[in-house]
Amino acid sequence: MAPISALAQVDRTAAETQIKAAFLYKFSGFVEWPPKVFARPDSPFTIGVIGADELAAELEQIVKGRTVLERAVVVRRMRRGESVAGIQMLFIGQAEGARLAEILANAKGQSVLTVTESEDALSHGSMINFVFVDDKVRFDVALPQAERGALKISARLLAVARKVVTSS
Amino acid sequence: MSAARVWIATIAALAAFAANAQTGKPSDLADLSLEELANLEITSVSRRAERLSDAPASVFVITGDDIRRSGATSIPEALRLAPNLEVARVDAHQYAISARGFNNTIANKLLVLIDGRTVYTPLFSGVFWDAQDTLLEDVDRIEVISGPGATLWGANAVNGVINVITRRAAETQGTLLVAGAGNLERGAAARQGGKLGTDGAFRVYGKISDRDHTSRANGTSVPDSWDSGQAGFRADWGTAAGAFTLQGDAYRGTIDQATAGDIRISGGNLLARWARQLAGGDRVQVQTYFDNTAREIPGTFEERLNIFDVEFQHALRAGSQHSVIWGGGYRRADDHVSNTAAIAFLPADRNLRWGNLFVQDEIALRGDQLRLTLGTKAQSNPYTRTEFLPSARIAWKPDASRLVWSALSRAVRAPARLDRELFVPGQPPFFVLAGGPDFRSEISNVLELGYRAQPSRRASYSVTLFHSVHDHLRSLEPGPAGPVIGNEMEGKTTGIEAWGSLQVAERWRLSAGLLVLDQNLRLKPGSGDTMGVAAAGNDPKHQWSLRSSLDLPGRQEFDVMLRHVGPLPSPAVPGYTALDARYAWHFERGLEVALIAQNLFDRSHPEFGAAATRSEIERGLFLKLRWSL
């Protein structure tokens, strides 16, 4: 219905987006990347975002003036088919829909922490997938995919996860 | 810039503002721990969003969490949480609910929607509250907009709009069981949610309840005990880019009455909504529904009503300054009334049609700081010529935490069947009452001035001043046999609506609301009305409420609401102060046990109606179990 409803819906989605963006930033502190993922000692920590412009905007606000692994943080808005080289974390928004599997396949086996917000995304190769449970933003983790990318996910992050998939 | 961007920018600015004002270091979501983030309820976050709403209108949002913490078991009881509404319980099943005056059991100046479905009846342009229900646990929020919302919503939104919005099916997955019993009512409900394919979800629910009869002040019992059952479903497919919703409900209810057998109500509805985000941020939505209701009041009348409704809307951006919404709708009602000797609607069978077209342009005059919203709606109705409902709103946002707004609107309450076609008794001569063949639309011109502010991250408030000038209000004029319904009343309503909330501590929230109302109605010179202005409504001059929500260690909750309603003038109803309280325990595996007490201050009190015939509303105790599996 009319605009106030629409606005409230947008607000709600915006709140969800804010929380997801905060999670993405937090994840970086609970995952260990192999040192080779950074080309140079001063290479920034780069978070790629596909199909989620508003989340990217929110994330840009969050990372302003913050560091990850003592590196500057860069948010890169990416297009489908773009190489994931130089990316440490990749968020694929729901807007990508059916193209999710294709994008995940592209990142498979690389040391890129893939994060999604679509049902069944873990079965398509995503490592962390956001779910909405009881008004809260939670996430599921798939360990085998992370291991294939030589990423180590800390026990504390796993403890907060709603569900941890241990075998593929 | 999309609305979401504006909002995010607002939040970011506010976070910076709050950070500077309070702690001097950044304090936003990213500073929370993983555990804290995972426990952050969107409802509480969106409540903050609501406080920052840019809507240049008097909007109060009752969240799903507010409803849960109030212990309300029906939509009307939940509406007591809105400071900008007058809610008076008449008996076991009837309520008088209005905004900005004119309250009555046949109050007719509110537009009430449940998930986009208009639920006021064309019989009298008011709401049969005993036929409006849903699973309250699945309600996402109730938006209460006081003041004219006619430009976008419809001709009945003279004094306000109530928008009940349920959650998407994806947000109500799994099993939920609810059961409760108390000295005045008992009820049980179940809901099951699940997935449909890769991008769909559904839920089905069923609920039953029975409520005891009420009593008069002298202890005489009033035969109005009420039992009801309802079942329904909702299915949603797709994403924000393209979504489809199908939902429906079916209900029945039986209400005792003094003579001639029980009142029976029943009905069902089915609604489909399709929304799509187009390239460039445009959005289109098409919605259609069918709604059937039946009400059988033995000895009085019987009604079967079928409504078909379809509407379309398109939101687009034109250039960098204009956000335009336009659309239209068509509504058709087939109403069949079985008349009795007591009263009659003539003709008994009636086909009614309404059509509308609307357009609204929100113009950014100085970025997001100053916005002008101009709109109008043209609405045809079965009785009068096409009515135009224009409004102009201006909003000035000097910074992210303050909003000043003002609005000038023309609202129209188009004739209902009652105004034109009601006759008492059911056969001539109609010496008690006759519908007015020339009854025209009631008109209100309304000026509003509002201020909303969030002085800190923990506090927010809203104040609205309004002044309405009414003309052609309903009156009873002398006719050939008896009174005939006419339009010879006019008047003014002036008032204040204010509310605010304060997060005293992380676990303690206080909210307050105030309504002050000054209504001056008079009959026009030449009117022969004998009922007087009291027939137009019975309203308190003031009401206020205080609410405390406290989270205690060990996952316990303690909620208290103190509310006061001033005396009603005619018929006289004494003012009252009521205290409601709720204590809840949360156990493992999603089990919540709550003890709810209502009207703790007195054994009983009346809220509406004449002393000789009115019911007392008793103190209630209720134990509620809610188990989400």
Predicted confidence (pLDDT) at residue A44 exceeds the cutoff of 50: yes
Residues 6+ apart with CB under 8 A from B23: none
Report CB contact under 8 Å: B29, A62: yes
pLDDT at A1: 32
A95, A116 contact by CB (below 8 A): no
Task: For residue range B17-68, list pLDDT tens digits in order.
Answer: 333 333 322 236 787 788 878 877 654 333 333 334 678 889 898 988 899 9
Residue B429 lies in a domain: yes
Both tokens assigned to B353: 């049609």
Residue B421 lies in a domain: yes
Rounded to two decimals, the ipTM of the complex is 0.87
B579, B593 contact by CB (below 8 A): no
Q: What is the Cα–Cα distance from B123 to A131, expressed in whole angstroms?
A: 45
What are the start-end ranges of the H helices in B232-359? Answer: none
pLDDT grade for B400, boundaries at 50, 70 and 90 = confident
Domain residues for the domain of B498 are: 41-628
- State the CB neighbour count (10 A cutoff) for residue B35: 11
Nearest one of B387, B352, B351, B356 to B472, comparing CA atoms:
B387
Of residues B204 and B342, the one with the higher pLDDT is B204
In chain A, the N- to C-terminal Cα span, in Å, equals 43
Nearest one of B546, B559, B617, B545 to B67, comparing CA atoms:
B559
pLDDT at B272: 96
Please give the tally of structural domains in chain B: 1
Best A7, A16, A31, A73 member to test B by mutation, with max B CBs in 10 Å, is: A7
Of residues B16 and B183, the one with the higher pLDDT is B183
B471, B493 contact by CB (below 8 A): no
Q: What are the distances in angstroms from CA B493 to CA B57, B161, B245, B468, B574? A: 17, 18, 40, 5, 22
Q: What is residue A127's DSSP assignment?
A: S
Residue B13 lies in a domain: no
Q: Look up the pTM and report it.
A: 0.78
Q: What is the Cα–Cα distance from B144 to B158, expressed in whole angstroms?
A: 13
Residue B404 lies in a domain: yes
Q: Is B133 exposed, middle or buried (0-12, 13-18, 19+ CB in 10 A)?
A: buried
Report CB contact under 8 Å: B198, A132: no
Q: What is the Cα–Cα distance from B29 to B26, expressed in whole angstroms?
A: 10
Within 8 A of B356 by CB-CB distance, chain A residues are none
pLDDT at B242: 79
Q: What is the Cα–Cα distance from B37 to B39, expressed in whole angstroms?
A: 5
Residue B381 lies in a domain: yes
| Mean pLDDT in residue range B517-535 | 91
- State the CB neighbour count (10 A cutoff) for residue B364: 17
| Window B:269-308, CB contacts with A under 8 Å | 283
pLDDT at B385: 92
Residue B30 lies in a domain: no
Q: Does B7 touch chain A (CB under 8 A)?
A: yes
Task: For residue range B384-393, list pLDDT tens digits in order.
Answer: 999 999 999 9
Ranked by mean pLDDT, which of B140-154, B162-176, B203-217 comes out on top? Answer: B203-217
Give percent above pLDDT 70 in chain B. Answer: 92
Task: For residue range B439-495, list pLDDT tens digits in order.
Answer: 999 999 999 999 998 887 678 899 999 999 999 999 999 998 889 999 999 999 999
Domains identified in chain A and CATH numbers: 3-165 (3.40.50.2300)
Bridge partner list, A12: none
Q: Does B155 touch chain A (CB under 8 A)?
A: no
Q: How many CA atoms lie within 13 A of B552 on its CB side?
A: 11
Q: What is the Cα–Cα distance from B536 to A30, expressed in whole angstroms?
A: 65
Residue B57 lies in a domain: yes
pLDDT grade for B16, boundaries at 50, 70 and 90 = very low
Predicted confidence (pLDDT) at residue A114 exceeds the cutoff of 90: yes
Q: What is the Cα–Cα distance from B573 to B610, expressed in whole angstroms?
A: 7
| Window B:321-380, CB contacts with A under 8 Å | 325, 360
Residue B346 lies in a domain: yes
Phi, psi of B594 (to 5 degrees): -130, 140
Task: For residue range B80-99, list pLDDT tens digits in order.
Answer: 999 999 999 999 999 999 99
Q: Does B242 touch chain A (CB under 8 A)?
A: no
Task: For residue range B116-126, list pLDDT tens digits in order.
Answer: 999 989 999 99
Within 8 A of A12 by CB-CB distance, chain B residues are 42, 46, 49, 140
pLDDT at A12: 54
Of residues B528 and B293, the one with the higher pLDDT is B293
Question: What radius of gyration, in Å, describes the C-alpha atoms of chain A?
Answer: 16
Mean pLDDT, all residues of chain B:
88
pLDDT grade for A40, boundaries at 50, 70 and 90 = confident
Out of A8, A97, A156, closest to residue B61 by CB: A8
Report CB contact under 8 Å: A19, B30: no
Residues 6+ apart with CB under 8 A from B588: none
* Among chain A residues, CA nearest to B49: A11
Q: What is the DSSP string of B243-263?
A: EEEEEEEEEEEEE--SSSS-E
3-class state of residue B94 by DSSP: coil
Out of B3, B149, B198, closest to residue A7 by CB: B3
CATH of the domain at B69: 2.40.170.20
Predicted confidence (pLDDT) at residue B10 exceeds the cutoff of 90: no
Predicted confidence (pLDDT) at residue A157 exceeds the cutoff of 80: yes
